[in-house]
Structure 1
Amino acid sequence: MAASNRSPAACYTVEARNPNEIWKADAVIDNHTPVLAIQISFCIFITNLFYAILRPLRQPRIVAEILAGLALSLLVAVNDNLVDIFLPAKGILNFETYANLGIMGYAFISGLEMNFDTILQVGKNDTGIALLGIIIPMAMGMGFFAVIQRVYEKPLEENNGIYVGKEYLFWCLALPVTSFPLLARTLTDLKLLYTRLGKATLRAAVFSDTYGWVLFIALIPFSSDSAVGAILSVLGTVMFILFCIFVLRPLITKYIDQNAYRQDTTQNNSPLAFLIMGAFVCSYITDLLGTHAIVGSFVYGLILPHGKFSDSVMGMIDKFTSGAISPLFFFSVGLTMNLTVLAHQKYWPLMVLFILLLSTLKVLSTFIATFFFKLPTRDSMGMGLLLNSKGALALIILNIAFARKVLSVVPFTIMACAVILMTIMAPLCVNSIYKPRKRFENFRLRTIEMLRNNAELRILSCVHNVHQATCMVNLLKAFNANRISPLRVFGVHLIEHTGGAAAATALLANHMEQPIHSKSQELTLSQPNLQNIANIFNTLREEDNTIRVDNLHAVSAYDTIYKDIHSVAEQNRTAMILLPFHRQLDGVSGGLAETTNETYRNINLKVMQDAPCSVALLVDRGLGLVSKTNLHVVMLFVGGPDDREALAVAWRMIGTANPAITLSVVRIVLAGEAAEADISTSDDTKRPSSTRVDDDERQQVLDEEYIDSFRFKAIYNNDSITYSEEEVHNGEELIALLQELDKDGGDLYIVGQGNGRNTIVSSSFMEWCDNVELGVIGDIIASLGSSSSLLVVKQFGYEEMELGRQNQHPRLTSVSEMDIL
Structure 2
Amino acid sequence: MFNLRSYAIFIVAAVSISGITGPAVVLIMRQVRRRMPAYLHPGMERQSPDALLRILSCIHGPADVPVTLNLVEACRVAQPEIAPLSVSTVHLLEYTERSASPLMYRRDTRATFISYDAEAISEVLRAYRLSNGIPIRLTTAVSYYFNMHEDICITATDMRTSLIILPFHKFQRVDGKMDIRNHALQKVNRQTQDHAPCSVGILVNRGLGGATFKTATNVRMTVAVLFFGGSDDREAMAFGMRMALNPSINFTIIRFVPCDKYEKAIDIEDEDDSGYDIEMELDEAFISECRKRYVKSKTVAYDERSLRTGEEVVTALREIAVSYSLFIVGRGGPGASRLTAGLIGWEDCPELGPVGDLLSSSEFSITCSVLIINKARSLSSAIRVSSRGREVNNF
Q: Partners in 1 of 2:187 and 2:45 — Cα distance?
A: 27
Q: Partners in 1 of 2:123 and 2:327 — Cα distance?
A: 27
Deviation at 1:728, TM superposition (A): 1.3
Change (3 A) 1:785 1:293: farther
Deviation at 1:609, TM superposition (A): 0.7
Tell me the amino acid that sits aligned with residue 434 of structure 1.
Answer: R
Summarize the alignment of residues 52-67 of structure 1 with structure 2, pairs less than 5 Å apart. none
Change (3 A) 1:652 1:803: closer
Contact preservation (8 Å) 2:39, 2:382: no
Q: Does 1:541 align with 2:126?
A: no
Q: Partners in 2 of 1:627 and 1:425 — Cα distance?
A: 45
User: Which residue is 1:816 aligned to?
Assistant: none
Give the SS at the match of 1:739.
Answer: helix
Summarize the alignment of residues 695-714 of structure 1 with structure 2, pairs less than 5 Å apart. 695-714=275-294
Change (3 A) 1:775 1:583: same
User: Which residue is 1:693 aligned to?
Assistant: 273
Change (3 A) 1:802 1:451: closer
Give the SS at the match of 2:153.
Answer: helix
Q: Partners in 1 of 2:244 and 2:231 — Cα distance?
A: 20
Contact preservation (8 Å) 2:164, 2:200: yes
Summarize the alignment of residues 439-588 of structure 1 with structure 2, pairs less than 5 Å apart. 441-445=38-42, 447-481=43-77, 482-484=79-81, 485-499=83-97, 503=100, 526-544=114-132, 547-586=134-173
The one of 13, 16, 32 aligned to 1:394: 16
Q: C-alpha offsets along residues 143-170 of structure 1, whole Å, 9 cap, x if unaligned?
A: xxxxxxxxxxxxxxxxxxxxxxxxxxxx
Q: C-alpha offsets along residues 42-61 of structure 1, whole Å, 9 cap, x if unaligned?
A: xxxxxxxxxxxxxxxxxxxx
Tell me the amino acid that sits aligned with residue 771 of structure 1.
Answer: C
Q: C-alpha offsets along residues 32-72 of structure 1, whole Å, 9 cap, x if unaligned?
A: xxxxxxxxxxxxxxxxxxxxxxxxxxxxxxxxxxxxxxxxx
Q: Partners in 1 of 2:164 and 2:112 — Cα distance?
A: 27
Q: Partners in 2 of 1:673 and 1:603 — Cα distance?
A: 38
Contact preservation (8 Å) 1:581, 1:617: yes
Ranges in structure 1 where 5+ consecutive residues have no aligned partner? 1-234, 238-286, 299-390, 397-418, 507-519, 685-691, 805-821
Contact preservation (8 Å) 2:318, 2:364: no
Give the SS at the match of 1:460.
Answer: strand
Tell me the amino acid that sits aligned with residue 55 of structure 2.
Answer: I
Contact preservation (8 Å) 1:558, 1:603: yes
Give the SS at the match of 2:278.
Answer: helix
Deviation at 1:802, TM superposition (A): 8.4
Q: Does 1:780 align with 2:368?
A: no
Contact preservation (8 Å) 1:612, 1:796: yes
Tell me the amino acid that sits aligned with residue 314 of structure 2.
Answer: I
Change (3 A) 1:457 1:694: same
Deviation at 1:697, TM superposition (A): 2.1
User: Which residue is 2:342 aligned to?
Assistant: 764
Deviation at 1:746, TM superposition (A): 0.7
Contact preservation (8 Å) 2:331, 2:373: yes
Q: Partners in 1 of 2:371 and 2:58 — Cα distance?
A: 14
Identity of aligned residues (%): 28
Deviation at 1:423, TM superposition (A): 7.8
Change (3 A) 1:590 1:729: closer
Q: Partners in 2 of 1:474 and 1:533 — Cα distance?
A: 15
Summarize the alignment of residues 190-269 of structure 1 with structure 2, pairs less than 5 Å apart. 235-236=1-2
Summarize the alignment of residues 644-683 of structure 1 with structure 2, pairs less than 5 Å apart. 644-655=234-245, 658-671=246-259, 672-673=261-262, 676=266, 678-680=268-270
Q: Partners in 2 of 1:570 and 1:674 — Cα distance?
A: 41
Q: Partners in 2 of 1:673 and 1:573 — Cα distance?
A: 43
Deviation at 1:715, TM superposition (A): 1.5
Q: C-alpha offsets along residues 603-647 of structure 1, whole Å, 9 cap, x if unaligned?
A: 111111110111111001111535563100011001111111111
Q: Partners in 2 of 1:458 and 1:792 — Cα distance?
A: 17
Summarize the alignment of residues 36-51 of structure 1 with structure 2, pairs less than 5 Å apart. none
CA radius of gyration, larger in: 1
Summarize the alignment of residues 26-425 of structure 1 with structure 2, pairs less than 5 Å apart. 235-236=1-2, 287=4, 291-292=7-8, 295=11, 393-394=15-16
Q: Using CA pairs under 8 Å that are at least 6 residues apart, name the structure with larger relative contact order, 1 or 2.
A: 2
Contact preservation (8 Å) 1:677, 1:758: no
Deviation at 1:651, TM superposition (A): 0.6
Give the SS at the match of 2:343.
Answer: helix
Contact preservation (8 Å) 1:579, 1:617: yes
Change (3 A) 1:575 1:444: closer
Q: Partners in 2 of 1:769 and 1:593 — Cα distance?
A: 15
Change (3 A) 1:703 1:574: same
- Normalising by structure 2, report the TM-score: 0.82
Q: Partners in 2 of 1:761 and 1:717 — Cα distance?
A: 30
Q: Partners in 1 of 2:87 and 2:112 — Cα distance?
A: 24
Q: Partners in 1 of 2:378 and 2:159 — Cα distance?
A: 19
Contact preservation (8 Å) 1:582, 1:596: yes
User: Which residue is 1:614 aligned to?
Assistant: 199
Contact preservation (8 Å) 1:679, 1:758: no
Deviation at 1:789, TM superposition (A): 0.4
Task: Give the aligned CA root-mean-square deviation in angstroms.
Answer: 3.6
Greater percentage in strand = 2
Tell me the amino acid that sits aligned with residue 663 of structure 1.
Answer: F
User: Which residue is 1:792 aligned to?
Assistant: 372
Change (3 A) 1:487 1:768: same
Q: Partners in 1 of 2:335 and 2:267 — Cα distance?
A: 8
- Normalising by structure 1, report the TM-score: 0.41
Q: Partners in 2 of 1:694 and 1:528 — Cα distance?
A: 55
Q: Partners in 2 of 1:584 and 1:777 — Cα distance?
A: 18
Q: Partners in 2 of 1:553 and 1:462 — Cα distance?
A: 10
Change (3 A) 1:294 1:503: farther
Tell me the amino acid that sits aligned with residue 716 of structure 1.
Answer: K
User: Which residue is 1:625 aligned to?
Assistant: 211
